[in-house]
Amino acid sequence: FTLRPYYAEGSKTVLFECAEQLGWTLPHHIVVPVGSGALLTRQATAANQLRATGLVPESHFHIHAAQPAGCAPVSDAVLDNWRPVEPVRRPETLAKSLAIGAPADGDGSVKIVRETRGSAASVSDDEIREAASLLATTEGVLVEPAGGVVVATAQQLASRGVFHPGETVVLYLTGNGYKGGPEETALGPVIAADADAFRLAYEEVLA
């Protein structure tokens, strides 16, 4: 259930475009950030529609939930033997866009993760920062903290042996780094707005 039906319906296009870019096949795994749960649940709808129209073949397709430890009602429910979602009264996390303590599609998300034989993880603020920094320094992609949640979750799932060699894993990085506030996007020290300061900082990063 969601009060934003256009957002929920539009969320399906993420998987539509993903399947197109993969040559009209579904990835084996997607790791999805969970706030309200609308994005995650609609990926299952999108997969079913792609199969029904014959655009993609039948294949194993697993949906994994990614949440910050300070607000992880869905991940906690998945990891606690698929129990009903329990609201988080006071979310405390760097990933503000995922700080939804009573997700409208929470139980629906748990159901979808279970049906697709997926999994879940929750990650600390330190893990979020480290993952976002890793993405910025290795890929040149600046993400909001929710993106760090997804990358850190994927790292956890990989360490648990969820992914296997040869499988395609897609991470949903849903917002750029300018979306967050100063605390959320700070990946390094503030420098003066001149070329010399930039050059010095850049050389320190490369060292």
User: Per residue in 180-191, pLDDT tens?
Assistant: 655 555 556 789
Q: Is the pLDDT of residue 195 over 90?
A: yes
Query: What pLDDT sits at residue 185?
Result: 52
Residue carrying structure tokens 């939804």: 100
Give the count of alpha carbons within 13 A of 30, CB side only. 28
Residue 177 is predicted with a pLDDT of 81
Query: Is 38 a residue whose pLDDT tops 60?
Result: yes
Give pLDDT, residue 54: 97
User: What pairing do the DSSP bridges indicate for beta strands 62-68 and 29-33?
Assistant: parallel
Q: How is residue 37 written in tokens?
A: 């749960």
Q: Residue 184's pLDDT is what?
A: 54
Q: Which CATH class name applies to 5-206?
A: alpha beta
User: Cβ–Cβ contacts within 10 Å for residue 78, how many?
Assistant: 25
The model's pLDDT over 42-51, given as tens digits with 9 standing for 90+, comes to: 999 999 999 9
How many residues are recorded in the chain?
Answer: 207
For 122-172, the pLDDT digits (tens) are 999 999 999 999 999 999 999 999 999 999 999 999 999 999 999 999 999
Average pLDDT over residues 106-110: 98
Tell me the pairing of strands 169-171 and 120-123: unpaired
Domain ranges of the chain: 5-206
The stretch 17-23 carries a mean pLDDT of 98
CA separation for the pair 49, 52 (Å, rounded): 5
> Tokens 């003066």 correspond to what residue?
192
Q: Which amino acid is at 72?
A: A
